[in-house]
Amino acid sequence: MKSAVLVFPGINRERDMARALKLASGNDAAMVWHADTALPAGTDLVVVPGGFSYGDYLRCGAIAARAPVMDAVRDFAAKGGLVLGVCNGFQILCESGLLPGVLMRNAQLKFVCRDVHMKIERSDTPFTRGYNAGQVIRVPVAHGEGNYEADEETLKRLEGEGRVLYRYCSPEGVVDEASNFNGAANSIAGIVNERGNVLGMMPHPENHVEEIMGCTDGRGLFAGLAQHLEKAA
């Protein structure tokens, strides 16, 4: 698995992401600067990590979405390449038009930094094959604008086409208002594009891949990607 991790001014999770990718695949990820106009040759997976790109000015991800490297990312995705955006990366993917909807301020208007639980809706995608459908995992979140919103028609399409891959839930797997800590529509934590090769999610699976962190529930996402790409090769 040959991965490329984008680096924007203000991004702060790129090293965490690169470490998770190496643990899963055994290969170092290429770090790609926002002003670059091309991805490394042979790239299998592009990752847009979390942080505060460009200081979150204007709107979260709005400036990063217009960085030179994003044209290469859009071309890569259009050809079927896998793209993963986490937290600020999810916001960037929405602002760049690679995913529908927008990430708004959390319902309580507060920054939330803690572990939450997510239910895996499907296990037949490159991003979820490391899990079982219906499985509940625990992962950290750290965001102030994670409230996913879209118009009614878009939400119907996402649900009807099975494009919601991750959903906030209780530790027991119950999807309810109490577990929807940021107010996201339909408790959405992660979605894919129509083709299924671009995923955006708010929680940080890269921070739960090692035993020393007390939880390895995020490991399945990266292991599944590595297995998918190994099989594809």
Is 149 noted as a catalytic residue in this protein?
Answer: no
Active site residue 34: no
Task: Using DSSP bridges, classify how beta strands 164-169 and 112-120 pair: parallel, antiparallel or unpaired.
Answer: antiparallel
Q: Which amino acid is at 216?
A: T
d(CA 227, CA 230): 5
Q: Decide: helix, strand or coil at residue 69.
A: helix
Which residue in the list 14, 34, 60, 87 is annotated as catalytic?
Answer: 87
Alpha helices in the chain (DSSP H): 14-25, 69-78, 88-95, 152-160, 219-232
Q: Is 222 helix (H, G, I), strand (E, B) or coil?
A: helix
Q: What's the CA gap between 227 and 116, in Å, rounded?
A: 26
Burial (CB < 10 A; 0-12, 13-18, 19+), residue 40, is: middle
Angle at 83 between CA 187 and CA 116, to 5 degrees: 30
The catalytic position among 145, 206, 208, 228 is: 206
- Ordered DSSP codes for 82-140: EEEEETHHHHHHHHTTSSSSEEE--TTSS-EEEEEEEEE--SSSTTTTTS-TT-EEEEE
Contacts of residue 73, Cβ cutoff 8 Å, sequence gap at least 6: 6, 39, 46, 48, 83, 96, 98
- Specify whether 206 is catalytic: yes
Token digits of residue 63? 């400036």
User: Which candidate in 34, 117, 143, 204 is catalytic?
Assistant: 204
Q: Which active-site residues does the annotation give?
A: 87, 204, 206
